[in-house]
Amino acid sequence: SSGINAEWPLRPGVFAGFLILMEGVGALMGMMTAPGGAMRPDDDWFDNLVKPSWNPPNWVFGPVWTLLYFMIALSAFKVYRKIGFSQALPWMVFFIQITLNFAWPLIFFVGHQLLGGLIDILLMLVFIILNISVFIPVEKSAGLLLLPYLAWVTFATYLNYTLWRLNPDASTSHLCYIFSDNVFLCNN
């Protein structure tokens, strides 16, 4: 061994960037897609859905996602410390699963698409598993940090599926097309 540290320099700005991405965009999506938020000013659609008895209370989601987003940011930073941005595959998988994560509330809450949300979250689940599998060889702890996220999204997938099954007509009355430049075209 040459004694040279194989890790990239500790760059607090990079960690702050991952944290802002995860916590900032996550919080923004939460505020925008919450009832009374910018994209749902008078929307009681979710409140009117038939829910299973095991549906968590609304107050649970904020703290859970805050912790998960911190762990996702830390996971990404640990991988960055090992490889920087020198390998495309881990970062492509990471950013695809994060994009799917941030798209879900738009599809589900704004678009009122239970099936669309289910398709998105199933893809997200696949990409979280892929993300873990490409992070572990780089930095084992980075992959392990994503396991609670995988567990929560697995639960959320089953909840989304159950809501879709309990509310077969809930998606048909409101259809939104989401364009890449954040323009929404909706029909009632």
pLDDT of residue 129: 98
pLDDT for 63: 92
pTM for the model? 0.82
Tally of CB atoms within 10 A around 90: 24
Q: What is the largest CA-CA distance in the chain?
A: 66
Q: How many CB atoms lie within 10 A of CB 142?
A: 27
Please give the average pLDDT of every successive group of 10 residues along the chain, which has 188 residues: 49 81 82 73 83 94 92 94 93 96 91 94 98 97 98 98 94 52 50
Sign (positive or negative) of CA dihedral 137, 138, 142, 146:
negative
Distance CA 70, CA 74 (A): 6
Tell me, what's the pLDDT at 5? 44
Tokens 């979710």 locate to: 46
State the pLDDT at residue 21: 84
